Structure 1
Amino acid sequence: MSFAFENEDEVNLLRGQAKNEKTDLEFDDFSLKEAVNSKNEDYIKQKIRERIDRASVTAVYLTTDCAKSKWVDWEITESLKRRKGVIGVYKGDTPPDQLPTAFDRYGIKTVKWSHQEMMHAIAEARKER
């Protein structure tokens, strides 16, 4: 999961839904659970890369905050460099007006926060990588 730190509470809800045994939604979340305690960007990138390498698809939680985050845009680009699938997930009926620039640059698919849509998009992104 890639997301803006300001949206951590909503992302935790999504994580909880994926762990609920009564839903079909399943994914392994390799995102950092706590911010890396460092100002050294190379070290932070190394820690994030370790997580990206463990995943097959990076799901980006799309919000206005996310579009402003340099880290989210970097994570998307890094995921694609490492041949990982990438999807965007938004809450509500429409995606935010602003998306990270990598979405337009790479034509990344966005889907509604719905178990079926997310599962389908993750499976497709996994195949396309």
Structure 2
Amino acid sequence: MGGGSGGSWSRLGDIRSLEEKAKQALQGGKRNVFISFATEDMNEVNLLRAHAKNENSDIEFNDHSVREPYNSDRAAYIKEKIAERIQRSSVCVVYLSDSTKQSNWVKWEVEESLRQGKKVVGVHPQGKAPVANPTWVREYGLKVVNWSDLPTELK
């Protein structure tokens, strides 16, 4: 009778220990990042996400961006949900391409990030800078870096 209950307490302690280790691993040195991008750039952004998951990569972050469009045509609802994700992040990384300047959503996400006091950094792959950045990149004084320089900017 006494031996059975002792084992369950031990297992409970093991589970709590594992939970704590998992939490530390998830947050250990990683920044919570919101990635803002035009939908036309989804494939490139997915490469950035995959690169960050590679254990040999210098880029480490927890991605809080939206992976799929919210199922709503109501702009206020969509903005509310995106603002919640931005709130959970410490940095907004804006993927810059020739498609970015046509996206009103990217501009709004940058403005919302700045309104919330978040650091905002523009990024593009090495050798694939857009022909011209949107005017608001300069207006808001955003730093723009190559993809390979992003780890330094996330610190």
**What is the rounded CA distance, in whole Å, between the counterparts of 1:109 and 1:45 in structure 2?**
24
Q: Among all aligned residue pairs of Structure 1 and Structure 2, give the percentage whose two residues are the same amino acid.
A: 47
- TM-score, normalization: structure 1? 0.89
The alignment status of 1:102 with 2:128, answered yes or no, reads no
Q: Which amino acid in structure 1 is aligned with residue 70 of structure 2?
A: V
Q: Deviations over 1:37-62 (max 9, x none)?
A: 11100001001001100100000110
1:118 paired residue number: 150
Q: Deviations over 1:10-34 (max 9, x none)?
A: 1001100100111221011101111
Determine which structure has more spread, i.e. the larger CA radius of gyration.
2
**What is the rounded CA distance, in whole Å, between the counterparts of 2:112 and 2:138 in structure 1?**
15
- 5 Å-filtered alignment, 1:83-94, equals 83-93=117-127
Residue 66 (structure 1) aligned to one of 97, 100, 103: 100
User: What runs of 5+ residues in structure 1 fail to find an aligned partner?
Assistant: 124-129
Q: Which amino acid in structure 2 is aligned with residue 59 of structure 1?
A: V
1:75 paired residue number: 109
Instruction: Report SS of the residue matched to 2:142.
Output: coil
1:54 paired residue number: 88
Residue 25 (structure 1) aligned to one of 56, 59, 75: 59
Q: Give the aligned length.
A: 121
User: What runs of 5+ residues in structure 2 fail to find an aligned partner?
Assistant: 1-34
Contact 1:76 1:102 in 2 (8 A): no
CA RMSD after TM alignment: 1.1
Runs of 4 or more above 4 Å deviation: none
**What is the rounded CA distance, in whole Å, between the counterparts of 1:13 and 1:99 in structure 2?**
21
Larger RCO (alpha carbons 8 Å, 6+ apart): 1
Instruction: Report SS of the residue matched to 1:89.
Output: strand
- TM-score, normalization: structure 2? 0.75
Q: Deviations over 1:88-112 (max 9, x none)?
A: 0112336312223321111100001
